[in-house]
C-alpha cells in the first residue's frame, strides 16, 4: 500500500501543481499512474468548462477555450511546454547528438522554441474551441490520459540519452515492463467507457509514440525529461486536432450503442 501511494504521490507531484511530495528514488513508481493523473486533469478541465458554460450570459466557446488553455498550463506548471521549447530549439540546426542534448539543457529559449510554444498554444486553443462548440469536450479525458500513458511507454522502452543525471533519469532507471503493462491497462480502462472513440484515441497515441520513439533514438540516442515533455505536448495537440477535425464522427463514436 505504501509503494502504491508513493507512486500516486510521485505522479501528482511530477505532472501537476499539487505538491504531493516524493523521494527521488521512488519516481519510477509514478509511471503506472501517469494515465490516471492525466484523466484526473482532463476531468477537472471538463468540470471547469461546464461550470463556465453554465454561468456565461451567452455561449462563448472561444473564450472558454482560452481559459481552458490557461487552466491546463496552471495545473501542469507549464512543465511540458518547457520540454517542448527545449526540444524545438535543439532541432533548429544541424548538430551532432551531444550538441542537441546540450542545447536542451540551456535555460534560454530561442526562436524555434518560442515558435513551437506559439503553435502549441494556438493549436490547443483552436481544438478546444471546436470540441466545446461541438459539445464533445468530454473527450479531453481520454486524450490527456493517452498522452501521459505514452510518456510511460517511451520511458519503459528507451534508454536514457544523457551520460549525466537529469530530470528523466530517475524514471528511466527504475522503469520496468510491469510499469508499461499497468500503464497500458490503465489507459484502456479509462478510455473504453467513452465508446469506440475511446479505443481509437489511445491506439492513435500509441502509433504516434512509436514514430516519436524511432525519431528520438535516431537523433538523441534515447529519452530525456525534455523529450518526455515534448512527447506529451505533441501527442495531446495531435489527438485534439484529430478529434476536432472529425468532430461529427467523434460525436457519433462516443459511447457504446446497442
Tell me whether residue 232 is in a domain. Answer: yes
C-alpha distances in Å from residue 90, one per residue of 51, 108, 111, 219, 222: 40, 12, 11, 10, 14
Sign of CA dihedral 12, 208, 236, 134: negative
Tell me whether residue 60 is in a domain. Answer: yes
Closest-CA residue to 40 (of 154, 179, 188, 140): 140
pLDDT computed for residue 42 by the predictor: 97
pLDDT computed for residue 23 by the predictor: 52
Place of cell 530561442: 110
Q: What are phi and psi of 29, to 5 degrees?
A: -70, -10
* Residue 163: strand, helix, or coil: coil
User: From the DSSP assignment, how many helices (H) and strands (E) are in the chain?
Assistant: 12, 0
Tell me whether residue 206 is in a domain. Answer: yes
Q: What are the pLDDT digits (tens) for 119-138?
A: 999 999 999 999 999 999 99
* Statement: residue 150 has pLDDT above 60: yes
How does the average pLDDT of the chain come out, rounded? 89
Tell me whether residue 24 is in a domain. Answer: no
pLDDT computed for residue 146 by the predictor: 97
The residues, any chain, with a CB within 8 Å of residue 254's CB and separated by 6 or more, are 136, 138, 139, 194, 195, 196, 197, 198
pLDDT computed for residue 246 by the predictor: 87
Tell me whether residue 17 is in a domain. Answer: no
pLDDT computed for residue 83 by the predictor: 92
Tell me whether residue 226 is in a domain. Answer: yes
Q: What are phi and psi of 18, to 5 degrees?
A: -65, 120
Cα separation, 148 vs 87, in Å, equals 18
DSSP letter at 164? Answer: S
Tell me whether residue 164 is in a domain. Answer: yes
Q: What are the pLDDT digits (tens) for 195-218?
A: 999 999 999 999 999 999 999 999
Tell me whether residue 56 is in a domain. Answer: yes
pLDDT computed for residue 21 by the predictor: 61
pTM, whole model, 2 decimals?
0.93
Q: What are the pLDDT digits (tens) for 8-41?
A: 888 888 899 987 765 545 678 889 999 999 999 9
Instruction: Determine the average pLDDT of the residues in 79-93.
Output: 88
pLDDT computed for residue 185 by the predictor: 97
- When pLDDT is cut at 50, 70 and 90, the band that residue 243 belongs to is very high
Q: What are the pLDDT digits (tens) for 40-83?
A: 999 999 999 999 999 887 889 999 999 999 999 999 999 899 99
User: Whole domain around residue 44: which residue ranges?
Assistant: 34-252
Question: In the chain, how many domains are there?
Answer: 1
Cα separation, 99 vs 81, in Å, equals 21
C-alpha distances in Å from residue 160, one per residue of 4, 39, 180: 24, 27, 16
C-alpha distances in Å from residue 225, one per residue of 59, 71, 100, 106: 39, 22, 14, 13
Counting every residue, how long is the chain? 258
pLDDT computed for residue 140 by the predictor: 97
pLDDT computed for residue 247 by the predictor: 79
* Statement: residue 252 has pLDDT above 90: no
Cα separation, 70 vs 142, in Å, equals 20
pLDDT computed for residue 97 by the predictor: 84
C-alpha distances in Å from residue 166, one per residue of 141, 176, 182: 30, 19, 25
CA 164: distance to chain centroid?
25
Amino acid at each position: 500500500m505504501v509503494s502504491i501511494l508513493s507512486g500516486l504521490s510521485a505522479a501528482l507531484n511530477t505532472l501537476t501543481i499539487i505538491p504531493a511530495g516524493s523521494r527521488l528514488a521512488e519516481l519510477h513508481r509514478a509511471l503506472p499512474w501517469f494515465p490516471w493523473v492525466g484523466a484526473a486533469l482532463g476531468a477537472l478541465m471538463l468540470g471547469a468548462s461546464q461550470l463556465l458554460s453554465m454561468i456565461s450570459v451567452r455561449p462563448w466557446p472561444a473564450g472558454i477555450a482560452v481559459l481552458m488553455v490557461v487552466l491546463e498550463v496552471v495545473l501542469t506548471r507549464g512543465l511540458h511546454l518547457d520540454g517542448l521549447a527545449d526540444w524545438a530549439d535543439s532541432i533548429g540546426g544541424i548538430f551532432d547528438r551531444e550538441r542537441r542534448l546540450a542545447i536542451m539543457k540551456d535555460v534560454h529559449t530561442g526562436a524555434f522554441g518560442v515558435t513551437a510554444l506559439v503553435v502549441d498554444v494556438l493549436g490547443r486553443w483552436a481544438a478546444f474551441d471546436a470540441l466545446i462548440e461541438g459539445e464533445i469536450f468530454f473527450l479531453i479525458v481520454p486524450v490527456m490520459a493517452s498522452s501521459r500513458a505514452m510518456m510511460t511507454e517511451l520511458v519503459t522502452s528507451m534508454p536514457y540519452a544523457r551520460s549525466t543525471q537529469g530530470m528523466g533519469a530517475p524514471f528511466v532507471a527504475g522503469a520496468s515492463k510491469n510499469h508499461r503493462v499497468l500503464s497500458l491497462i490503465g489507459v484502456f480502462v479509462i478510455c473504453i467507457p467513452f465508446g469506440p472513440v475511446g479505443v481509437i484515441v489511445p491506439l492513435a497515441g500509441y502509433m504516434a509514440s512509436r514514430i516519436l520513439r524511432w525519431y528520438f533514438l535516431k537523433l538523441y540516442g534515447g529519452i530525456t525529461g525534455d523529450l518526455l515533455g515534448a512527447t506529451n505536448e505533441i501527442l495531446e495537440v495531435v489527438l485534439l486536432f484529430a478529434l476536432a477535425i472529425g468532430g461529427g464522427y467523434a460525436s457519433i463514436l462516443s459511447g457504446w450503442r446497442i
